[in-house]
Structure 1
Amino acid sequence: MKKYIKENQVYTVQEGSELEVQLIADGFEELVKDTKSDLSKLKIKELVEIAQAHGLEVPNNAKKPEVLELLESNGVTIDE
Structure 2
Amino acid sequence: MACEIKTALVTGASSGIGEAFACELAKKGSHLIVAARSHDKLEKLAVELETAHNIKAVPIPIDLSAGDAPGKLEEEVKRRGPAG
Normalised by the length of structure 1, the TM-score is: 0.27
Relative to its length, the structure with more strand (as a share) is 2
